[in-house]
Amino acid sequence: MVSSSTLVGTSQRKNVRILLVGDPGVGKTSLILSLVSEEFPEDVPPKAEEITIPANVTPEQVPTNIVDYSHIEQSDETLNEEILKSHVVCIVYAVDDDDTLDRITSHWLPLIRKAVGEDQPKKPVVLVGNKVDLIEYSTINSVLSIMEEFPEVESCVECSAKTLHNISEMFYYAQKAVLHPTSPLYIMDEQDLTPACKKSLVRIFKICDIDGDNLLNDYELNLFQRRCFNTPLQPQILDEVKSVIQKNIPDGIYNDSVTLKGFLFLHCLFIQRGRNETTWAVLRRFGYNEQLEMSKDYLKPALKIPPGSSTELSHRGQQFLTALFERYDKDCDGALSPEEHKMLFSTCPQAPWSYSTDIRKSCTVNEKGWVTLNGWISRWALMTLIDVNKTMEYLAYMGFNVHENDTQLAAIHVTRERRIDLAKRQSSRSVYMCHVIGPKGSGKTGMCRGFLLNDDTKSLIGKEFRTNVTHCINTVQVYGQEKHLILRDIDVKHALDPLQPQEINCDVACLVYDSSNPRSFEYIARIYIKYYAESKIPVMIVGTKCDLDERRQDYLLQPDEFCQKYKLLPPHRFSLKNNKKELYVKLATMAAFPRFQAAWILFYKHRLVQLWESAHLRQFGLMTEDPTLWWKAGLGVAAATVLGFVVLKAVHGLTSPTR
């Protein structure tokens, strides 16, 4: 939409290497020397030395090396090596010698193809007709047929080393063939864009279509222009662009906006007019390399994660994903239907997860089983913690780099190291990993999946709901702050199998046993003693199926005695049928305060509440007998409060590293 002179930062190469080949006497060496000295040399050596043209004197602002070939001084093996090292090959022929023109197709192009290899991308070629000062006709028509037969031929130019006609243009076309090649974008004989180019431009169109109406209105076109070329689109130019599209493609404009067909036609027109650099500027701004693949640096920018740190979504990352959710929630019901979910990821090679077997079973959904906004953000929080590179990759596919005008690193927050959290006795993180470990049949899978239930989705409990899923993630409130808690269901195949380090290390461990099975507790007791007794990882023991009759455990200590011995919080009784979510809050709190014994804090906090309620009830029971009991009750509550602080201070002292 702009002239090539306004392009900014469109090239990805750091240099261009040009090789000149051709039959003896066509003037290869003269062309090089005429360019350098700006005059025709009287004495021409068999071969010019390799020269380097600085970036500041080249049209594309890229350093350029120009290499000559001489059949007298160089062997065929050396020629093959030079072809492989070059970025573009200029085949020079003499316009007054038809034999040198015929040799382009009979010798030079086949030779270059053979040197490169059939399994490698074709080497860009520029055909250069020298000595136009000797004739009064053009050979361009003959060369055009060669371009149709050999797609690697990017362009052709006629020039004269003697009169300096088109010398600079010749090397400009060579640079352009490397930096803005035609063959990846355009099929000459079909006069149409390549499938790869169309696919890339379709993705770009969808990303720029902010309101999702399959049209680019003036506002969206202006944003597109600024993102790609760092300059606004003037209203007059915009009207001219629309007029050109309308004239050539009747359905290229709809409601004064550009359709996808119009967008593709516009880029086809750029290429036909020799303005490849415009289309390449767009493609590169959206992350594409010379092979029209998303470049690795664009998809996965380098991210340094210190040992003991974790990765979470930043505020900007959450904002972008929230806006994306709302954009594709077409019916505004606060959830993504399977079709809406599919459309959201239409700019990606595929969805990062399966809708039916993964995301719907790992995060919160509505009564239809559709992913809610909370579930959507939670699922991204999970992926960011366990595979941050995948998060960055998909953020790039969906246009974060373009919409936010920054790399995906702006969407990622690297937490401080765990050792610092331990020293400060408080975690700075907002996403915690809880490993849920227990023997088969203990109910740990149901406990994990129960984390996702609410009043509207309890009906989803069934065979499908109980299907094992590795991770379940949801939000919980920890002292008024929203945290993400991930429950990882550790698969225990055999009771005697040892746990691996990646199955042990976490922010908090939840050891689960079936309170109705007398042989269930022994497994987690041994797990605790072997892996967690000497660790700094907080541990919660949970007895499931408490709606059934509790059985005495066949172990030397009963669960309450075991917890008392190892200074753990008493076992939490849990039932999926009467799930009040306190368990998940406790787990998140223990993860948030890893060295401050959050479990004990909760216990004493609960005790303070009991003392308060007890004093309050006594007050009402005795108030008619003793009018001064109001005052006494107040003193009692104050005493209970002081006692609570003393207890907390004592606990703090026991956990202090200086004691």
pLDDT digits 0-9 by tens, 573-599: 999 888 778 999 999 999 998 765 444
Parallel, antiparallel, or unpaired for β 335-336 and 311-313? unpaired
Mean pLDDT of 109-138: 93
Percent of the chain surpassing pLDDT 90: 66
| Residue 14: strand, helix, or coil | coil
**pLDDT for residue 357 is more than 50:** yes
Q: Which residue has the higher pLDDT, 609 or 442?
A: 442
Q: Dihedrals φ, ψ of 594, to 5°?
A: -65, -30
| Residue 192: strand, helix, or coil | strand
Amino acid, res. 458: K
| 76, burial (CB in 10 Å: exposed 0-12, middle 13-18, buried 19+) | exposed
Domains defined for the chain, CATH in brackets: 16-179 (3.40.50.300), 189-291 (1.10.238.10), 298-415 (1.10.238.10), 433-605 (3.40.50.300)
Digit-coded pLDDT (tens) for 64-111: 999 999 988 889 999 999 999 999 999 999 999 999 999 999 999 999
CA-based torsion, 202, 208, 211, 215: positive or negative: negative
Q: Report whether 515 contacts 551 (CB < 8 A).
A: yes
Segment of 279-293, 464-478, 597-611 carrying the highest mean pLDDT = 279-293
Digit-coded pLDDT (tens) for 400-452: 998 877 899 999 999 998 888 877 777 789 999 999 999 999 999 889 989 99
Q: Give the pLDDT of residue 633.
A: 43
Q: Report whether 457 contacts 365 (CB < 8 A).
A: yes
Digit-coded pLDDT (tens) for 451-460: 998 765 555 5
Q: Report whether 224 contacts 208 (CB < 8 A).
A: yes
Q: What is the CA radius of gyration of the chain?
A: 36
Task: Locate 649 and state its tokens.
Answer: 């201070």
How many residues can be counted in the chain?
Answer: 659
Q: Dihedrals φ, ψ of 573, to 5°?
A: -80, 130
Residues 420, 423, 426, 431, Cα dihedral to 10° = 30
DSSP string, 519-551: TSHHHHHHHIIIIITTSS--EEEEEE-TTSPP-
Q: Please provide the average confidence, as pLDDT, over all residues in the chain.
A: 86
Confidence of residue 59 (pLDDT cuts 50, 70, 90): confident
**pLDDT for residue 652 is more than 50:** no
Q: pTM for this one?
A: 0.80
| Residue 312: strand, helix, or coil | strand
**pLDDT for residue 495 is more than 80:** no
Q: Report whether 55 contacts 63 (CB < 8 A).
A: yes
CA distances from 86 to 80, 387, 512 (A): 10, 39, 65
Digit-coded pLDDT (tens) for 277-316: 999 999 999 999 988 999 999 999 999 999 989 999 999 9
In degrees, rounded to 5, the angle at the alpha carbon of residue 37 between the alpha carbons of residues 33 and 40 is 60
Question: In the Cβ-directed half-sphere of 622, how many Cα atoms lie within 13 Å?
Answer: 13
Percent of the chain surpassing pLDDT 70: 86
Say which residue the tokens 């009040």 belong to: 580
Digit-coded pLDDT (tens) for 527-552: 999 999 999 899 999 999 999 999 99
Question: In the Cβ-directed half-sphere of 390, how many Cα atoms lie within 13 Å?
Answer: 14
Amino acid, res. 466: R
